[in-house]
Chains A and B, each alone.
Chain A
Amino acid sequence: MSMRRTLAIARRILHGVRRDRRTLVLLFVVPVVLLTLMGYLLRGGSTQPAVGVIQQDRGPLGPIVAQRLLASHDVAATSMSADDARADLAAQRIAGYVVLPADFSDRALRERVVAPEVHLEGTQPALSASVLGALGSALASAGTAVSGGAAPTVSPTVTYLHGGPDLDTLDYFGAAFIGLIVFFLVYVLTSIAFLRERQQGTLERLMASPLRRGEIVVGYMIGFGVLALLQSALVLAFSLAVLHIYNAGEVWLIFLLEALLALFAVNLGIFLSTFARTEFQAVQFIPLAIVPQILLSGVLFPVETEPALLQPLSNVLPLTYAVYGMRSAMLAGRGVTDAGILVDLGVGVLFAALAIALAALTLRRAAA
């Protein structure tokens, strides 16, 4: 394998895309639009839940946190008395209230435990999430005020008037959706790009050059891999920073899962494009090969709830593992040492390798 030849392919791909505005839009604008649309759909846009703030702390920290909450744009917070708050909550006039108890600063400084009380109405998970999110950022600022010594543990007591601490729909779908967007767009892009390589005769030219099949495939993988990683980073940043999709896991792990999925998509694109004669046919593979994967991957319907007949099928799809991995990392906060995550990562590597091999094998056929 020659690095020079492999990189020549990768560089050529990037040069081509740089000049292709439509592809750039597909790569970097479409995901943001889709995510925004989904966020708006599932979270009902910019509803600011009303929140009560009850500041009872005798120390310095309570007022800081309260101030932050009152200034927050994520919630519409007002100071009130405990009695008013209880009544408003029962009447659903507020989505919840936060109590900063008398010993708030005391415990934070002495026991290094930041323990506010949160009372949530709970019937609308989206609103509950906003309240917790706003409190989270307010506490972060208070955390920096507790300087010196070990970092304080944040452990709010959360009580629900109704319902439970379930995550909202966007959190649940978002974790899987950000993987899906990258998978889908990267697949479409590579399969079309590779098909064009064949149609414009350049693939024949490459096969008549010292380039080896593996170099072409890996070159493609690097070229589109770079684009896919940039896209993944954008999608992830947008999801976390703008949509505030719940994330309890480590960002690099999520990125790694996404990167594996992207590599798989690149090679699946090359592989499937060898079965298409025209771009029209390549697009026809989407309902044929991509949509069933999406349906069975657990993105929409958890694999466990599928009919028994379909479950084995789900269990051999790489997307299933990616979705599962992303969810357990983001929602359950599992780390790389977790057995389940290791399986998901391993399967991801395996499928990426398999797709590379398949893509390389089909190349000979493709040129002739």
Chain B
Amino acid sequence: MESTPAVDIQGVVKTFGALRALDGVTLSVRRGEIFGLLGPNGSGKTTLIRMLVGLLRPDSGRISVLGRAAGDAGILGRVGYMTQKAALYPDLSVRENVDFFAAVYGARARVADALRVVELSERADSVVATLSGGMQQRLSLACALVHGPELLLLDEPTVGIDPLLRAEFWTHFRRLTAAGTTIVVSSHVMDEAGRADRLGLLRFGRLLAEGTVAELEARAGVDDLEAAFLRLSATPEGAAT
């Protein structure tokens, strides 16, 4: 079991009408690592993540998640998904929101822990509609990790989060991976994605390259991730296997 990758994507194509949102993406995420999906707006990050939880089916190609086909009802309980736009119930309180998702996954005992991680314990009884944007983002993260998933999919989790808390988020992500959790995190910000163990560079639905920051910089022959991204997008034939 441990030897199979947490996520294995093979030649996945997804089109919306004439648009090729994903154009033959192949990559794999190892167990226990933080994998960063880096790409500009519209490059297909969200589309790829939605496929991992079975919300979208590939037109062609294969995706396996935790050793099973993506979207398999049996593994959804072991996956956590934080959507790009916070998906919360605005008329419920902070605690009620986390409690609801916890109940869905059968983990109601961990509500208080999840609230502590995102530093919302003090606001537990506030109605969500009255929270600041960043607080809602934090709550959304709490809802995604309350059941202690093996695989955590985070779609731009730190947008709108202040730098102090962002650093704490990453500390917590590290703590989670140390305990065996695998994390896939998307971002369009270079220095954010640069914190990941390994990166996949997406552009126009194609995977330009996959590897650690050092590997990517070496391949592009530069010493800076941003420059590497630009260099690699200019020469898509330099893409990784």
Contact = CB atoms under 8 A, between A and B. Distances in A.
Interface of A: 4-5, 7-9, 11-12, 15-16, 19-20, 200-202, 204-212, 367-368
Given A200-B89, A202-B89, A209-B76, A8 B104 contact: yes
A12 B73 contact: no
Contact of B105 (A20, A200, A210, A367): A210
A201 B87 contact: yes
A287 B83 CA distance: 36
B89 A208 contact: no
Interface of B: 50, 53-56, 73, 76-77, 79, 81, 83, 85-92, 96, 100-101, 103-106, 127, 143
A204 B105 contact: no
Contacts of B143: 205
Given A207-B55, A208-B53, A209-B76, A12 B89 contact: yes
Contacts of A207: 53-55
B104 A201 contact: no
A20 B92 CA distance: 10
Contacts of A204: 50, 55, 83, 87
Contact of B89 (A5, A7, A16, A210): A16
Contacts of A8: 100, 103-104
A4 B77 CA distance: 14
Contact of A208 (B54, B86, B96, B106): B54
B105 A209 contact: yes
A7 B56 CA distance: 27
B83 to A, nearest CB: 6
Complex A-B, nearest 10 residue pairs according to Cβ-Cβ distance, in ascending order: A8-B103, A201-B87, A208-B53, A210-B77, A205-B87, A16-B91, A12-B100, A208-B81, A202-B87, A210-B76
B159 to A, nearest CB: 15
Given A4-B106, A204-B50, A210-B73, 11 more contacts: A8-B103, A9-B104, A12-B89, A12-B100, A16-B92, A202-B87, A202-B89, A207-B53, A208-B53, A209-B76, A209-B77
B104 A210 contact: yes
A14 to B, nearest CB: 11
Contact of B103 (A11, A16, A20, A200): A11
A15 B96 contact: yes
A253 B97 CA distance: 38
B107 to A, nearest CB: 11
Contacts of B85: 201
Contacts of B86: 201
A211 to B, nearest CB: 6
Nearest to B140: A205
A33 B18 CA distance: 54
B92 A208 contact: no
B177 to A, nearest CB: 21
A1 B176 CA distance: 31
B76 A200 contact: no
Contact of A12 (B53, B77, B92, B105): B92
A115 B223 CA distance: 106
Contacts of A20: 91
A262 B96 CA distance: 27
Contact of B90 (A11, A200, A211): A200
A202 B91 contact: no
B204 to A, nearest CB: 22
A202 B88 CA distance: 6
Contact of A19 (B77, B83, B104, B127): B127
B72 to A, nearest CB: 10
A176 B101 CA distance: 40
Contacts of B53: 207-208
A16 B77 CA distance: 25
Contacts of A200: 87-90
Contacts of A5: 103-104, 106
A201 B137 CA distance: 13
A246 to B, nearest CB: 40
A222 to B, nearest CB: 14
17 contacts: A7-B103, A12-B92, A200-B90, A201-B85, A201-B86, A202-B89, A204-B83, A204-B87, A205-B81, A205-B87, A207-B54, A207-B55, A208-B50, A208-B55, A209-B104, A210-B73, A212-B73
